[in-house]
Amino acid sequence: MSTDAGSLTDQDLEFLRRPLHGFLSVAAGPLPPQPRPVWFEATAEGAVQLFTLADSLKVRRLRSDPRASIVVAAPVGERERWLSVAGRVTVEPDGAHDLAARLAARYWDLDDPARADDLAGLLALDPVRLVIHPQAVSRYTY
């Protein structure tokens, strides 16, 4: 395992461009973290972003304590590999619709009318964009 003081390598970014699920944990004070599977995107600037509903529990928690981490792992059948990004999170009111559309195209077949309807439903829910600004990056490759 290696740990870096907050920057993603080119290899990390290549790994994060794959349609993998990430597991997001937000700070919850005295409560233990409760990771949730999420879609995500690594930005050109080396941040990790995702979208969620503006009134979700994770957003409420992040507004009081803006720390979170995301862990992404290679799927079964590949050599073991994982990446963890932890840092401060900003809740951004802009860009969530475009991000949701990009991620839906990455994870779903939008030529399927049911999935296209699913995306329309997501966009109607008025999502926000969460941006994790890395402060610690840990990785493991076997």
d(CA 75, CA 77): 6
Q: What is the mean pLDDT of residues 104-115?
A: 96
Instruction: Decide if 108 contacts 120 (C-beta within 8 A).
Output: no
What's the length of the chain? Answer: 142
In a 3-state reduction of DSSP, which class is residue 103? Answer: helix
Q: Is the pTM of this model over 0.75?
A: yes
Give the start-to-end residue ranges of the domains of the chain: 2-141
Model confidence band, residue 33 (pLDDT cutoffs 50, 70, 90): confident
pLDDT at 48 exceeding the cut of 70: yes
2-141 has which CATH code? 2.30.110.10
Decide: 80 and 45 in contact? Cβ < 8 Å.
no
What CA–CA distance (Å, rounded) separates 52 from 114? 20
Rounded to whole angstroms, how far apart are CA atoms 3 and 85? 10
Residue 87 contacts residue 132 (beta carbons within 8 Å): yes
What average pLDDT is seen over the chain? 92
